[in-house]
Structure 1
Amino acid sequence: MPPTPTTVPCQYRTGKTLGSGTYAIVKEAVHIKTGKYYACKVINKKLMEGREFMVRNEIAVLKKISSGHPNIVTLHDYFETANNLYLCFDLCTGGELFDRICAKGNYHEPDAADLVRTILKAVKYIHDSGIVHRDLKPENLLFRTPAEEADIMIADFGLSRVMDEERFHLLTEICGTPGYMAPEIFKKTGHGKPVDIWAMGVITYFLLAGYTPFDRETQQQEMEAIIAGDYKFEPEEYWVNVSETAKQFVRECLTTDPIKRPTAGGILKHPWLAKPHFVPDPASPHGGPTDLLPHIQKRLDARTRFRKAVWSITAMKRMSLLAGVGGSELSEKIHKYKEESEKEELNEASGSRG
């Protein structure tokens, strides 16, 4: 675990639980002296036994890039108690990407391009810092505040890795969220920064239509479609209002050969990001862009219902692979350890500053 020199009285008080991940819960925390609020990732030590490298790695990545870019969450502090590890991040209160889009009332292709450009600039910064994120997806794109002009932030660096440029190597373990994973991850041929560009292609497709390009009936079929690069801009009713330039941008990101896939710096120069592209709305008196929200909303409503069922299964499978134990046994363990994390009164504990 991170270095733990001296034990000091804890400087935070935890509040409500904001969410729950694969091996951690996220709680609101207030810094007692400053009154400033943070999102605090609480990781039960027992749950991480044998997998401490995951937390150590997340801290190493975040220390390297924290505070360096306005669109990347900052790790402000980390410490541990007898039972838990605590990582304190920016508290992003503006909600997830698609919740924000749906709340807007209207949404056009240039809006999607603006979002993609902003995220890609942050991805370029991450890559220039020698890091690959490996889990870019809409759920990890959060808005800093509810304000309309709020920054969008890349969050959750739990699967990120520092790429050793001196001693060039490729990562080979399977990781990420299936629908956003690049072909080379499934093929185990070695992967690196190009996986993030592939994920950006999937995110862009999603931003334009409200569903992912490799949606299939089973995970096996989805994996086969990804490896083959088998996707279409269909059904046509969802794509008739999207420009050919946007589709070309998606195609370039979804190049199956990682060597031929553009870099973050290269794809940022694409015409779709250089100036507004859109299909004019025939009903608009000034020939403005067509509103993409009605179709996206329709698909997202169906996806939200489906996602709730799938998320718990995916999280369980991911933890089973990590822990090498059966589903029901693991389910009990996770529930028990997360309950322990939830109950710990941080203001009564002592923490060791990292």
Structure 2
Amino acid sequence: MPFGCVTLGDKKDYNQPSEVTDRYDLGQVIKTEEFCEIFRAKEKTTGKLYTCKKFLKRDGRKVRKAAKNEIIILKMVKHPNILQLVDVYITRKEYFIFLELATGREVFDWILDQGYYSEKDTSNVIRQVLEAVAYLHSLKIVHRNLKLENLVYYNRLKNSKIVISDFHLAKLENGLIKEPCGTPEYLAPEVVGRQRYGRPVDCWAIGVIMYILLSGNPPFYEEADEDDYENHDKNLFRKILAGDYEFDPPYWDDISQAAKELVTRLMEVEQDQRITAEEAISHEWISGNAASDKNIKDGVCAQIEKNFARAKWKKAVRVTTLMKRLRAPEQSETAAA
């Protein structure tokens, strides 16, 4: 399908709003994110359903930058585990991004609905994420916001694939990146410590995802008042900087040593020593037979319902603005803790 608009900066190429409405029926808003509203759109000629993300230019420079960035990145990528760009329209007032529609559930919801859930199921999810991320990294693209909420099943069929969504924070790695962004609980130590960073941040986030899927617990958790973001995140960041997590009993008692070893390599504090996505695909827990088939559903589901039902893990990205007012914890403070 041809894109409604090919270039981003030439005012002569603006689309008319009628070009969007002549081609698509936009339903009601189904979700509001930090920078955009999300609709379910129906193509009039075929009846096919798509996801439409609408960014309003009047909402500011950051919104305009996020929309342009997502368009540029999505035009570069084509992979079975990445939601594909279908169409783009840029009017004088808005950006419309049309994507494939994923009709499956988030990974959490899928786990809760299973009668049987094992390491092999987690390994299958992580393998698909690693393959998509290895592809992105081969193009020098850093996703920068990998998290469970951005992993969904493409459809509701039994053997549905996993797809990665939400590329508005993705960035081409032309030299190391300085700007901190992401979701606090998934941030790598180099981002928290305001170091220059690159593709290894995505591998750290995959380690966090893997840790959660195997235990139902986040690796870094702060008991402070969750509404007091500044103190909550400051303490959380200290733990991340130190790599202060454990394979706590009883949640990890039935988890294989190979799984723990891969988590450890993905969540290596030193980014230059962290395993890459390509290397992780070859790990025995992903490509071999090291993943256990023991049913761990009851323990994982109990912890998921305890830890992730609360709104704190559903909140929009807040770290970009938070980092401006919150000084990153000093390495010396972490060492003394």
TM over 0.5: yes
TM range (shorter): 0.7 to 0.9
Cα distance change on mapping 1:113 and 1:242 into 2, 3 Å: same
Q: Which residue in 1 is equivalent to 2:307?
A: 303
Alignment of 1:263-282 (within 5 A): 263-278=276-291
Cα distance change on mapping 1:323 and 1:273 into 2, 3 Å: closer
Matched, 1:43 2:58: no
Structure 1 length as normaliser, TM-score? 0.81
Alignment of 1:240-319 (within 5 A): 240-278=253-291, 289-306=293-310, 308-309=311-312, 311-312=314-315, 315=317, 317-318=318-319
Q: Report the residue type matching 2:290 in the other structure.
A: H
- The answer on whether the counterparts of 2:267 and 2:274 sit within 8 Å (CA) in structure 1 is yes
Determine the C-alpha separation between the residues in 1 that align with 2:204 and 2:134: 14
Cα distance change on mapping 1:311 and 1:96 into 2, 3 Å: closer
Determine the C-alpha separation between the residues in 2 that align with 1:243 and 1:102: 21
Cα distance change on mapping 1:254 and 1:304 into 2, 3 Å: closer
Cα distance change on mapping 1:257 and 1:228 into 2, 3 Å: same
Aligned pair partner of 2:234 in 213, 220, 230:
220
Cα distance change on mapping 1:318 and 1:214 into 2, 3 Å: closer
Q: Report the residue type matching 1:258 in the other structure.
A: Q
Alignment of 1:118-137 (within 5 A): 118-137=128-147
- The answer on whether the counterparts of 1:109 and 1:277 sit within 8 Å (CA) in structure 2 is no
Determine the C-alpha separation between the residues in 2 that align with 1:250 and 1:19: 32
Cα distance change on mapping 1:319 and 1:28 into 2, 3 Å: farther
Determine the C-alpha separation between the residues in 1 that align with 2:291 and 2:151: 24
Identity of aligned residues (%): 32
- The answer on whether the counterparts of 1:62 and 1:157 sit within 8 Å (CA) in structure 2 is yes
Determine the C-alpha separation between the residues in 1 that align with 2:233 and 2:104: 31
Q: Secondary structure at the match of 1:126?
A: helix
Q: Secondary structure at the match of 1:38?
A: strand
Q: Report the residue type matching 1:293 in the other structure.
A: K
Determine the C-alpha separation between the residues in 2 that align with 1:7 and 1:275: 51
Structure 2 portions without partners, runs of 5+: 1-7, 224-231, 326-337
Q: Report the residue type matching 1:225 in the other structure.
A: K
Determine the C-alpha separation between the residues in 1 that align with 2:182 and 2:287: 30
Q: Secondary structure at the match of 1:237?
A: coil
Structure 1 portions without partners, runs of 5+: 280-288, 325-354
Matched, 1:18 2:18: no
Determine the C-alpha separation between the residues in 2 that align with 1:303 and 1:163: 34
Determine the C-alpha separation between the residues in 2 that align with 1:14 and 1:226: 42
Cα distance change on mapping 1:206 and 1:3 into 2, 3 Å: farther
Q: Which residue in 2 is equivalent to 1:339?
A: none
- The answer on whether the counterparts of 2:180 and 2:320 sit within 8 Å (CA) in structure 1 is no
Cα deviation for residue 303 of structure 1 reads 2.6
Cα distance change on mapping 1:250 and 1:50 into 2, 3 Å: closer
Cα distance change on mapping 1:278 and 1:131 into 2, 3 Å: closer
Cα deviation for residue 2 of structure 1 reads 4.9
Aligned residues: 305
- Larger RCO, structures 1/2 (Cα 8 Å, 6+ apart): 1
Cα deviation for residue 230 of structure 1 reads 0.8
Determine the C-alpha separation between the residues in 2 that align with 1:221 and 1:2: 42
Cα deviation for residue 222 of structure 1 reads 1.2
Q: Which residue in 1 is equivalent to 2:226?
A: none
Determine the C-alpha separation between the residues in 2 that align with 1:309 and 1:274: 34
Cα deviation for residue 102 of structure 1 reads 1.2
Cα deviation for residue 278 of structure 1 reads 4.6
Q: Which residue in 2 is equivalent to 1:232?
A: 246
Cα deviation for residue 191 of structure 1 reads 0.5
- The answer on whether the counterparts of 2:192 and 2:237 sit within 8 Å (CA) in structure 1 is yes
Cα deviation for residue 200 of structure 1 reads 0.8
- The answer on whether the counterparts of 1:114 and 1:273 sit within 8 Å (CA) in structure 2 is yes
Q: Report the residue type matching 1:247 in the other structure.
A: K
Q: Report the residue type matching 2:123 in the other structure.
A: A
Structure 2 length as normaliser, TM-score? 0.85
Q: Secondary structure at the match of 1:246?
A: helix
